[in-house]
Amino acid sequence: MRILKFGGTSVGTVESIEQVVKIIGSKKENNQVLGVVFSAMGGVTNKLIEIGALASKGDVEYLNILKTIEERHISAVKSLIAVKNQSATTAKIKGLFNEIEDLLKGITYIKEISNRTMDLLLSFGERLSTQIVTSTLNDRGIKASFIDGRDIIKTDSTFGFAEVDFNKTNSAINDTLNNADLIYCVTGFIGSDQNQVTTTLGRGGSDYTASILGGALNAEVIEIWTDVNGMMTADPRKVKNAFTIPEISYAEAMELSHFGAKVIYPPSLIPAFQKNIPIRILNTFDITDKGTTVSKETIQKSYSITGISSIDDISLVNLQGNGMIGVAGVSAKLFTILADHKISVILISQASSEHSICFAVDPKSSEIVKEILEDGFKLEIQNGEIEQISVQHNLSIIAVVGEGMKASSGTSGKLFSVLGKNGINVIATAQGSSELNISVVIGKKDISKALNAIHETFFQIDGLTLNLFILGPTGLIGKTLLNQIEKQKEHLKKQKNLNLKITGIANTRKMILNPDGVSLQNWEENLIQNGELVNLSEFIDDIQALNLPNSIFIDCTANKDIVQYYAPLLNSNISIVTPNKVANSSSFAEYETLRNITTKRNVKFLYETNVGAGLPVINTLQGLINSGDTIIKIEAVLSGTLSFIFNTFDVGQKFVDVVKDAKAQGYTEPDPREDLSGMDVARKILILARETGINLEIQDVTINPLLSDEAMQAANVEEFYKVLEKENPLFEALIENAQKNGEKLRFIAKLENGKASIGLDKVDKNHPFYSLSGSENIVSYTTERYFHNPLVVKGPGAGAEVTAMGVFADIISLSSFLA
Ligand SMILES: NC(=O)c1ccc[n+]([C@@H]2O[C@H](COP(=O)([O-])OP(=O)(O)OC[C@H]3O[C@@H](n4cnc5c(N)ncnc54)[C@H](O)[C@@H]3O)[C@@H](O)[C@H]2O)c1
Ligand SMILES: N[C@@H](CCO)C(=O)O
Ligand code: NA
């Protein structure tokens, strides 16, 4: 035989009751008793509590509310039951409402409502709903019999949380539910004491009724029908990728529900569990779903944890002082005080130094907890053995639960690592020695970020999602990067289970932020038409406020003002990837600050494209240094623009046209004077110098200028071009001269003996830099290990595709760090 239980939403509307009737009809097998337990129609119990309170204050508003409840039930009868069968049921329902009205009138007279009276008032919810479903079943030709729970569930007289007398209850159940031809419809939640006074069973009461019935009748299975697809790996309102846990052990279900997963209340299922009856949690509104099966066996699972649950709002109470060390009985006293005041403790943590105990409670009880402890430990506080009791608010608990933890190491390592990488501070932690649960207390503002990051780490069904925020998406590099991402997205999803989500984009005027991802189709139009007007600091504030896991800020501008935001972003554990050289070439103090933050916070700042665009210039240098090599000399051509210009410019040509061409090819900085002045190269050699550990400032780089003062001081790019045109003979002479000697012009950067210099040079065909073509860069590292033959990196060192590729590669490398 089996027991079914339908919750409040399942009997909440005419449509849902139709669905319930369908399910019950399909479950009835021949010669098997079928017991079905019902909750009150959704929302009715709360309304009854409300009207009870109103009546006890003498507020007649309760009459109006009662009327709407009555109308809801009567109209359900009218819709569900054929007219010829309606009157008997309607009469029963009306009778029940008359009783409620009398009861409430009594309450208004005595102006108080005891737990005992409240139990009677609440009992009507289940009695009404069960009556309606029973009549509906009979109306549809399914023989059903109404059972008032008070006739079979026998309890003591603890109103509100009555204790069941199993001897009496079990025999009453077996005496009553004994006709295999019938479906027994039983009111959940309610019972009666030895004087037949109505009682209720407390939290999860209807589940409890089903469990008691199942246990008494040795059911094969208990089905808890609700409005979700079973227990999920996390709260689906907070974690979009949460999924149903197909099988779970009773102990796991207990842990999850203790920390907030509300689908069932497992303690109420103990009678079923004592008899090893599996419990299935199913969805009335999605009958094809398999839901969750709770059973005693530990099931081999695909993941190291089973689920994550959380309590959004808790307070942490801290009791500490030197007087606690080595003194037996402090914690005994503490928990006795709490128990005496019926304070329920959600989590306890004590450091082995025994200097402090902290515990989590519902914020509503935190004030009273402080008071009773200050009172209870008055003497110890006066003597200075215990400090003032402190209470921290606005905290949340996350519990990672699973039997799988016992068998595998590394669960807590993984948990703390993912929290750390996302900059989530763990305030307290507790792990039961059963190894079934690790709980962490964190700031409330981080709850959603933490749940998502943890879920992603432990249940990598949907892979890792990176939240990308791109500044300057309409610029050359930004746009190219977006194109590359768009083209590669599917592949990364398939091959690496990596989701690249463009969560925010902003240019100088507008931004779009969307936690679900900005579509890469028509994003430009969308930005223009629907983007919000912003300034830089608002964009940064919004990114921080979103507080999403695995956030990466990608600065594709050459902007100088943005640099001030790098530190705050890194401090919020948002990684930065950028081709923008400004931060790394600003003051050494700033450079160092950023490094210190990345070390302290374990957050990444990646900038391979600062030097040589996509060429592995910085990674190579870091590899040499990190592996203990010593850099003796760096010689390099670091400007794609200048390389292109001197590879292209010829006698008879206009130098300015070649410069314009370099810009058109996407090699130059937004302002090409940055390249021609040598400033761009100076920045790059400065960055390389700093990478090798040399403390230099930009003014320490010796620049042998290529441009005349007049060209350098031109008011704008157009003026600059005019000066270049005027000075064409100078450039022509330079190239002519070189060609005459079979030489090439190269703008070379050098770092040696702690000194950096840059300037135009001529090289003959024996020089390794002679053979560059197009926009090629070359970097030659002479080190202790690469002494006779330097290590050389060479290739195109500017241009949209190769730069965007370098930025893209940095993003991908972050994915293995964050995973
Ligand atoms: N072009 C290359 O070959 C190359 C190679 C390596 C590195 N870089 C670096 O890449 C960066 C971008 O270069 P680019 O060629 O794409 O330049 P670009 O001028 O085409 O793009 C820069 C974009 O940034 C935007 N921008 C500037 N300030 C902004 C702000 N405050 N907020 C939002 N957006 C802002 C601009 O509107 C522009 O759209 C530069 O730092 C450059 O040094 C470029
Ligand atoms: N303007 C730069 C881009 C690469 O940093 C160059 O020409 O090298
Ligand atoms: Na590079």
Query: What does the pLDDT look like over 690-722, one tens digit per residue?
Result: 999 999 999 999 999 899 999 999 999 999 999
CA 206 to chain centre: 33
Q: How many angstroms separate the CA atoms of 578 and 763, rounded? A: 33
Interstrand relation of 183-187 and 144-147 (parallel, antiparallel or unpaired): parallel
Has this prediction a pTM greater than 0.90? no
Task: Please check the confidence at residue 31 and state whether its pLDDT lies above 70.
Answer: no
pLDDT of 465 over the 90 cut: yes
Task: Sort residue 186 into left (φ over 0), alpha (ψ -120 to 50) or beta.
Answer: beta
| Pair 270, 254: CB distance under 8 Å | no
Distance CA 778, CA 780 (A): 7
Q: Residue 330 class from Cβ within 10 Å (0-12 exposed, 13-18 middle, 19+ buried)?
A: buried
CATH 3.40.50.720, domain 464-603, yes or no = yes
Whole-number CA gyration radius for the chain = 37
Asked if residue 174 lies in contact with residue 217, where contact means CB atoms within 8 angstroms, the answer is yes
In a 13 Å sphere around the CA of 744, the CA atoms on its Cβ side amount to: 23
pLDDT bin (cut points 50, 70, 90) of residue 354 is low
Per-residue model confidence (pLDDT) at position 27: 83
Q: How far is the CA of 611 from the centre of ligand 1 (A)?
A: 15
Distance 682 CA to ligand 2 centre (A): 11
What is the average per-residue pLDDT within 604-618? 97
Residue 728: pLDDT band (50, 70, 90) is: very high
Catalytic residues: 684
Alpha carbon of 665 to ligand 1 centroid (Å): 14
Ligand 1, atom 6, residue with closest C-alpha: 613
Give me the half-sphere count of Cα atoms (radius 13 Å) on the Cβ side of residue 680. Answer: 30
Closest alpha carbon to 255 in 293, 335, 310? 310
Q: Is residue 501's pLDDT more than 80?
A: yes
| 531 bridge partner residues | none
Domains 307-458 and 617-800 share a fold: no
pLDDT at 298: 62
The pLDDT tens digits of the residues spanning 84-119 come to: 999 999 999 999 999 999 999 999 999 999 999 999
pLDDT for position 408: 72
Ligand nearest to the CA of 777: 2
Residue 386 tokens, joined: 């215990």
pLDDT digits (tens, 9 = 90+) for 200-222: 998 789 999 999 999 999 999 99
Distance, in Å, from the CA atom of 305 to the CA atom of 290, rounded to the nearest integer, reads 20
Q: How far is the CA of 776 from the centre of ligand 1 (A)?
A: 20
Nearest to 784 by CA among 633, 634, 624, 630: 630
Neighbours of 441 (CB within 10 A): 24
Compute, in angstroms, the gap from residue 598 CA to the centroid of ligand 2. 26
CB neighbours (10 Å) of residue 172? 16
Closest ligand to the CA of 670: 1
- Ranked by mean pLDDT, the top range of 247-256, 384-393, 794-803 is 794-803
* Amino acid making up residue 315: S
Tokens of 461: 């069904």
Question: Which one-letter amino acid corresponds to residue 310?
Answer: S
Backbone angles phi, psi at 694, to 5 degrees: -90, 130
pLDDT band at residue 296, thresholds of 50, 70 and 90? confident
Pocket of ligand 1 from Cβ distances under 6 Å: 471-472, 474-478, 506-508, 536, 556-559, 562, 579-581, 609, 613, 640, 666-667, 669-670, 798-799, 803
Atom of ligand 1 nearest to the CA of 802: 3
Query: What pLDDT was estimated at residue 222?
Result: 95
* CB proximity list for 175: less than 8 A, separation 6 or greater: none
Please report the pLDDT score of residue 462 as a whole number.
76
| C-alpha–C-alpha distance, residues 19 and 11, integer Å | 9
- Which atom number of ligand 2 is nearest to the Cα of residue 609? 5
Return mean pLDDT, the chain: 93
**Residue 435 — pLDDT band, cuts 50, 70, 90?**
confident
The pLDDT value given to residue 302: 76
Find where tokens 């019999």 sit. 145
Run of H or E including 811: helix 800-818
Find all residues with CB under 8 Å of 674, minimum gap 6, and list them: 558, 668, 680
pLDDT at res. 297: 74
Ligand at minimal distance from the CA of 810 is: 3
User: In CATH, what number does 307-458 get?
Assistant: 3.30.2130.10
Q: What is the CATH number of domain 2-42+127-227?
A: 3.40.1160.10
| Local confidence band at 433 (pLDDT 50, 70, 90 cut-offs) | low
List the alpha helices (DSSP H) in 341-467. 363-376, 378-382, 404-407, 411-421, 447-458
608 lines ligand 2 (CB under 6 A): no
The whole-number pLDDT of residue 388 equals: 84
Rounded to whole angstroms, the Cα distance separating 233 from 404 reads: 14
| pLDDT one-digit tens code per residue, 150-192 | 999 999 999 999 999 999 999 999 999 998 889 999 999 999 9
pLDDT at 300 > cutoff 70:
no
Q: Tell me whether 0.85 is exceeded by the ipTM.
A: yes
List of long-range contacts for 87-91, beta carbons under 8 Å, 24+ apart: 88/135, 89/131, 89/132, 89/135
Ligand 1 atom 15 nearest Cα? 476
H-assigned helices in 1-60: 14-27, 44-56
In Å, how far are 470, 636, 720, 775, 803 from 648, measured between CA atoms? 34, 19, 20, 10, 21
- Ligand nearest to the backbone CA of 580: 1
Res. 323: pLDDT tops 80: no
Residue nearest to atom 23 of ligand 1 (CA): 475
Q: Among candidates 71, 9, 66, 97, which has minimal Cα distance to 79?
A: 71
Residue with tokens 């079934």: 436
Ligand 2 atom at minimum distance from 641 CA: 7
| Domain parsing of the chain, residue ranges | 2-42+127-227, 307-458, 464-603, 617-800
Question: What's the pLDDT score for residue 353?
Answer: 64
Which tens digit of pLDDT belongs to each residue from 739-752?
Answer: 999 999 999 999 99
CA distances from 117 to 55, 120, 154, 196 (A): 12, 5, 18, 13
Separation of alpha carbons 219 and 535, rounded Å: 66
Would you say residue 299 has pLDDT above 80? no
Q: What are phi and psi of 377, to 5 degrees?
A: -105, 25
Fold of 617-800: Dihydrodipicolinate Reductase; domain 2 (3.30.360)
- pLDDT category of residue 327 using cuts at 50, 70 and 90: low
Which residue from 137, 298, 262, 271 is spatially nearest to 209, judged by alpha carbons? 271
User: Residue 461 has what pLDDT?
Assistant: 73
Residue 197 CA, chain-centre distance (Å), reads 49
Contact of 56 with 112, CB cutoff 8 Å: yes
Q: Which long-range contacts (CB under 8 A, 24 or more apart) does 73-81 make?
A: 73/41, 73/97, 73/128, 73/132, 75/14, 76/13, 76/14, 76/17, 76/41, 76/132, 77/132, 77/135, 79/14, 80/14, 80/17, 80/18, 80/132, 80/135, 80/136, 80/139, 81/135, 81/136, 81/139
Query: What is the CA(681)–ligand 3 centre distance, in A?
Result: 13
Mean per-residue pLDDT for 438-460? 93
**Phi first, then psi: what are they for 120, rounded to 5°?**
-65, -45
Question: What is the helix (H) or strand (E) element at residue 806, kind and residue range?
Answer: helix 800-818
146 has pLDDT over 90 = yes
Mean pLDDT of 504-531: 94
Paired sense of beta strands 34-38 and 2-6, if any: parallel
| pLDDT, position 201 | 95
Candidate of 585, 617, 680 to mutate for ligand 2, largest count of ligand atoms within 8 Å of Cβ: 680
Q: Which of 512, 452, 489, 42 is nearest to 238 (CA)?
A: 452
pLDDT of 422 > 80? The answer is yes
Give the pair of three-digit tokens for residue 400.
């990672």
d(CA 72, CA 40): 12
